[in-house]
Structure 1
Amino acid sequence: MILKLNNHDVLHDEKDPLPSVTSSVRDALRLGCVAVGFTIYPGSAHCNTMYEQLRAIAEEAKASGLAVVVWSYPRGSSLSKEGETAMDVGAYAAQIAAQLGAHIIKVKLPTAHLEQAAAKKVYEATQTPIKTLAERVKHVVQSSFDGRRIVIFSGGAKSEDKNVFDEARAIRDGGGFGSIIGRNSFQRPKAEAVKFLHTIMGIYSGEIQ
C-alpha cells in the first residue's frame, strides 16, 4: 500500500498547479504502508515549492525504510499543451524525479514533439532516436539514472484494446517497467477485463509478441 502525501481538487483552474500536502510519512507508517507517493509538476510556476517539499519527504521516508514513488507530470503556464508530453520535457521530468530521490517514477508516454528550442538543437545534433514510441520510452528510462530507477508510464483514459496493447509492447521493448491501466481494466465487464489483463501480462512477460 502506498500513501499519497499531496493532492489537489478540480474546483478551480490550475494553470500553474500546486497540490496541497495532505498527509505525512508518520501517517504512512501508522497505516502500514511500504511507500509514500508525491506528485510534482515540472513547468509550474510553483515547481520549486514542490521540489523542496519532495526532498524533505523523501529524506524522511527513506530514513523510515519507506520507498518513494513520484508522479512527475509536466504542466504549467510556461508549457504548451503539446509540450506537456514532449520528448525533451518528459525525459527531463523523469530525471528531476530521480534526482529528488524517487525509487519509482511515473510519467506520461512522450510524443516525438520537442518543446524547447535549445533541446531540439541537441536532439538533432546527436541524432537521438525518438521516432518510435519504444525509442522514446528507452530515452526516458535512460534519463532516469540509466535504468537504475523503476519507470512506469500512465495509461490515461479508456482506449481501444489494440492501442493499449501497442503501448504495452513499446514500453516493454523500450525497457520500461510497466503501465498504469486502472481505467482500461475497471471500465470493462469483468470477463472482458480478465482477458484484457491476461493479454497485458503476456505482452510484458514476452509470451505474447
Structure 2
Amino acid sequence: MKATRAVQQILANYEGEPPGVKAQLCRMLMTGKLGGTGKMIILPVDQGFEHGPARSFAPNPEAYDPHYHYKLAIDAGLNAYAAPLGMLEAGADTFAGQIPTILKVNSANSLMPDDQSKNQAITASVDDALRIGASAIGFTIYPGSSSGLEMFEEIKEMRREAQAKGVATVIWSYPRGESLDKDGETAIDIAAYAAQIAALLGAHVIKIKLSTDYLSLPEAKKVYESEGIDVSSQAARVRHCVQSAFNGRRIMVFSGGSKKGSDAVYDDARAIRDGGGNGSIIGRNSFQRSRADAMEMLGKLMDIYRGKA
C-alpha cells in the first residue's frame, strides 16, 4: 500500500511522532473508499454505553449485534470503526485486519446523577488496544467541566504510553460542564477552544461537534467582533475550528450527532468539506437506519467528500 501525495502531506504535519504512530494514521487514511484522499468517515458505536441499549439500537435491532457494526464499516468502505472494549473484542478475531479500529478507552453513562461533575471512567488500556490490533485509542475530554483538568492529565499519560507503543490517539473534545449552558456547548468560540485544547494535548485526530454562530465568552466575543472573524456559515465555522487546530496541521473530523434527515446529514458533510475538515465520525445517523439505507447514505457522503455531490 503506497501512501498518496495527499496522505504524505498530512503525515508530514506530525513532526516528532514515531514511525509506529504515523503508520497507524496512514493505515486509517489509506483504508476504504476514501482511502488516499485525505478525507475520512469513521463509524463510532459507543452510544450503548452513553445512552443505553434501547435508545441506541432499538430503531434498527440488527445493531444490537457487535458483528453488525464491523460488517457495516467494512462493506461501506469506511476508514475506521471506533467502540468500547467489549464491542471491539466481540468481533476482533472474526474481522482481524479487515478495518482499522479505534478503542474508546473512557466512557460515561446516563445513569449518573445530574449533580455530578461531567466526567468519564477509564474503561480500557493501551495494552488492550495492542492486544486487539487497534490503530488508535479514543478518549473523551470535557472542557468546561470541573473534572476537565483531571481528564487532561489522564489523556496526557495515556497518550504518552500509546505514542511509545506505536498507537495513535483520537480525542473527542466535547465542551460541557458546570460553566457552560446548552448554547455554550455548541458556541463557535467554545468549539474552536475545544479543538485547540485537543491539539495542545497531543491528539493526532480531533473529534468535535459542529457549532452554531453563537459567541459564549464575553472576552472572546470582543475579539471575534473586532477582528471580523467570519462565523456566519457552517463552512466558515468549520474553517475556523480547523484553523484553531494548528492551522489545519491536525486531522479533524466532526460528529454526526443524533439521528436526523438525510438531507441535513449531507448538508453537514458539504460544510465540513468546504470548510477544510477531514470528514465525519457518524454513528447514530448510520446504524440507526436500516443497513440498506445506511449503505446508501454513506455512499452519498463519500461522493460529497470526493466533490462529486
TM-score under structure 2 length normalisation: 0.66
Counterpart for residue 199 of structure 1: 300
Counterpart for residue 31 of structure 1: 132
The answer to whether 1:147 aligns with 2:147 is no
Counterpart for residue 165 of structure 2: 64
User: Shift of the alpha carbon at 1:17?
Assistant: 0.9
Extract unaligned runs of 5+ from structure 2.
1-100
The worse-fitting range, judged by mean Cα deviation, of 192-201 and 111-120 is 192-201
User: Shift of the alpha carbon at 1:95?
Assistant: 0.6
Determine helix, strand or coil for the equivalent of 1:105.
strand
Q: How does 1:105-120 map to 2 (within 5 A)?
A: 105-120=206-221
User: Shift of the alpha carbon at 1:100?
Assistant: 0.4
Determine helix, strand or coil for the equivalent of 1:112.
coil
Determine helix, strand or coil for the equivalent of 1:188.
coil
User: Shift of the alpha carbon at 1:110?
Assistant: 0.7
The worse-fitting range, judged by mean Cα deviation, of 118-127 and 13-22 is 13-22
The worse-fitting range, judged by mean Cα deviation, of 30-39 and 41-50 is 30-39
Deviation string 1:104-139 (CA, Å, 9 cap, x unpaired) is 000000100010000000000000000000000000
Counterpart for residue 281 of structure 2: 180
Counterpart for residue 13 of structure 1: 113
User: For 1:141 and 1:13, how far apart are their aligned partners in 2?
Assistant: 34
The worse-fitting range, judged by mean Cα deviation, of 3-12 and 136-145 is 3-12
Counterpart for residue 124 of structure 1: 225
Extract unaligned runs of 5+ from structure 1.
none
Deviation string 1:142-166 (CA, Å, 9 cap, x unpaired) is 0011111111110011111111111
Which residue identity does 1:203 align to in structure 2?
Answer: I
Which residue identity does 1:19 align to in structure 2?
Answer: Q
User: Shift of the alpha carbon at 1:185?
Assistant: 1.8
Determine helix, strand or coil for the equivalent of 1:3.
strand
Counterparts in 2 of 1:143 and 1:24: CA distance versus 1, 3 Å: same
User: Shift of the alpha carbon at 1:189?
Assistant: 2.7
User: Shift of the alpha carbon at 1:14?
Assistant: 4.2
Counterpart for residue 40 of structure 1: 141
User: For 1:119 and 1:44, how far apart are their aligned partners in 2?
Assistant: 19
Deviation string 1:67-123 (CA, Å, 9 cap, x unpaired) is 000000000010111000000001000110010010000000010001000000000
Higher relative contact order (CA 8 A, sep 6+): 2
User: Shift of the alpha carbon at 1:5?
Assistant: 1.2
User: For 2:119 and 2:308, how far apart are their aligned partners in 1?
Assistant: 42
User: For 1:183 and 1:173, how far apart are their aligned partners in 2?
Assistant: 23
User: Shift of the alpha carbon at 1:186?
Assistant: 2.1
Deviation string 1:163-183 (CA, Å, 9 cap, x unpaired) is 111111000000011112222
User: For 1:2 and 1:195, how far apart are their aligned partners in 2?
Assistant: 24
User: Shift of the alpha carbon at 1:19?
Assistant: 0.8
User: Shift of the alpha carbon at 1:194?
Assistant: 2.1
Counterpart for residue 49 of structure 1: 150
Which residue identity does 1:11 align to in structure 2?
Answer: L
Q: How does 1:90-109 map to 2 (within 5 A)?
A: 90-109=191-210
Name the count of aligned residue pairs: 208
